Structure 1
Amino acid sequence: MLPFVLFPSMGEYPVYNDAVYDGLAAPDARSRAYDAALRAAAPGRVVLDVGTGRDALWAVAAARAGARHVYAIEAAPAAAAAARAAVDLSGFSRQITVLEGWASHQVLPVRAEVCVSEIVGNIASSEGAIPILNDCRQRLCTPGCVWIPFRARTMIAAVDVGTPSLDPSCRLLMDRVIAAAGGASGLRLCLGGPAWSALVSSPAVVESDVFDSRVLPPISDMSVEVELVAGKATGLLLWTRVAVASSGREVDTLDGGTRAWAPVYLPAPLAGRVRVGFSRRTSDDGVHPDYLLTVDGVTVWRSPHHVSSSSRTP
Structure 2
Amino acid sequence: MHSSVGAWERRKESTMSRCSHFELRTETEHSTILTPTSERHDTSTPFELGSGDPTYKQAQHYRSLVASREGTPVQKGWATRDTTPINRPTVQQKTTDSSPHRTALRTAIMKRSLVGLLAIGGCSVKHVTGFSSESNSNRREAIGKIGRLSTGIIPLVARSPPATANSQDVTPLSTKWTSVDGLNSLESEKFVSFDKNSYQAMVNDQSRTPLFEKAITNRLKSAEPDSQVVLDLGTGPFALFAVMAAEAGAKHVYAIEASADAAASARDVIRKKKLEDKVTILEGFSTDVTLPEKADFAVAEIVGSVATEESAVATILDASRRLVKDPADPRSWIPSRVQTLGAPASYTLHNLFRPPAFDWDKLDGQPVRFNCRDEGLQLLSDPAVVEDVSFADIARAGAGGTRQITFTVDPGRVEENVEKFGNEFAKNGQQRLASEVGRLKVETANSVSGIAMWPRLILDDDIEINSRRYPDGGQQKSHWQTVLPILSPEPVPVKGGDRIVVNFDFDIPKEVTRPASYKISGQVVST
**Which band: TM-score by shorter chain?**
0.7 to 0.9
Does structure 2 retain, via aligned residues, the 8 Å contact 1:59–1:72? yes
| Pair 1:189-2:368 in alignment | yes
Counterpart in 1 of 2:447? 232
In structure 1, which of residues 253, 265, 270 is the aligned counterpart of residue 467 of structure 2? Answer: 253
Shift of residue 90, structure 1, vs aligned partner: 2.2
| Pair 1:161-2:380 in alignment | no
Structure with the largest fraction of strand: 1
Does structure 2 retain, via aligned residues, the 8 Å contact 1:51–1:119? yes
CA RMSD of aligned residues (A): 2.6
Does structure 1 retain, via aligned residues, the 8 Å contact 2:236–2:257? yes
Counterpart in 2 of 1:203? 383
Counterpart in 2 of 1:311? none
Structure with the largest fraction of helix: 2
Q: Percent identity?
A: 27
Shift of residue 23, structure 1, vs aligned partner: 0.2
Counterpart in 2 of 1:220? 399
Counterpart in 2 of 1:150? 336
In structure 1, which of residues 75, 79, 82 is the aligned counterpart of residue 265 of structure 2? Answer: 82
Shift of residue 279, structure 1, vs aligned partner: 1.7
Shift of residue 157, structure 1, vs aligned partner: 0.9
| Pair 1:127-2:310 in alignment | yes
Does structure 1 retain, via aligned residues, the 8 Å contact 2:345–2:449? yes
Counterpart in 2 of 1:3? 51
Shift of residue 53, structure 1, vs aligned partner: 0.6
- 1:154 and 1:210 mapped to 2: Cα distance? 12
Once the two structures are superposed, residues 251-308 of structure 1 have per-residue CA deviations (whole angstroms, 9 ceiling, x without a partner) of 11124665331111122334320111112114586453111111239xxxxxxxxxxx
Once the two structures are superposed, residues 136-156 of structure 1 have per-residue CA deviations (whole angstroms, 9 ceiling, x without a partner) of 011011025610001111011
Once the two structures are superposed, residues 86-138 of structure 1 have per-residue CA deviations (whole angstroms, 9 ceiling, x without a partner) of 11122212100011111110101110001001110010011111111011011
- DSSP 3-state at the match of 2:406: strand
| Pair 1:267-2:489 in alignment | no
Give the alignment's TM-score, normalised by structure 1: 0.80
Distance 1:52 1:140, change over 3 A: same
Distance 1:90 1:185, change over 3 A: farther
> What number of residue pairs does the alignment pair up?
278
1:168-187 matches, cutoff 5 A: 185-187=364-366
Once the two structures are superposed, residues 155-188 of structure 1 have per-residue CA deviations (whole angstroms, 9 ceiling, x without a partner) of 11112221169xxxxxxxxxxxxxxxxxx75434
- 2:209 and 2:476 mapped to 1: Cα distance? 10
Distance 1:150 1:224, change over 3 A: same
In structure 2, which of residues 215, 237, 247 is the aligned counterpart of residue 37 of structure 1? Answer: 215
Greater Cα shift, 77-86 or 262-271: 262-271
In structure 2, which of residues 487, 505, 512 is the aligned counterpart of residue 279 of structure 1? Answer: 505
Shift of residue 192, structure 1, vs aligned partner: 2.7
- 2:277 and 2:236 mapped to 1: Cα distance? 19
Does structure 2 retain, via aligned residues, the 8 Å contact 1:53–1:79? yes
- 1:199 and 1:17 mapped to 2: Cα distance? 30
Distance 1:129 1:285, change over 3 A: closer
2:310 is aligned with what amino acid? E
Distance 1:258 1:76, change over 3 A: farther
Distance 1:52 1:2, change over 3 A: same
- DSSP 3-state at the match of 1:160: strand
Does structure 1 retain, via aligned residues, the 8 Å contact 2:251–2:278? yes
Counterpart in 2 of 1:304? none
Once the two structures are superposed, residues 27-78 of structure 1 have per-residue CA deviations (whole angstroms, 9 ceiling, x without a partner) of 5121111111110123520000001111111111110111000000011111
Counterpart in 2 of 1:289? 516
- 1:244 and 1:111 mapped to 2: Cα distance? 21
Counterpart in 2 of 1:19? 197
| Pair 1:114-2:329 in alignment | no
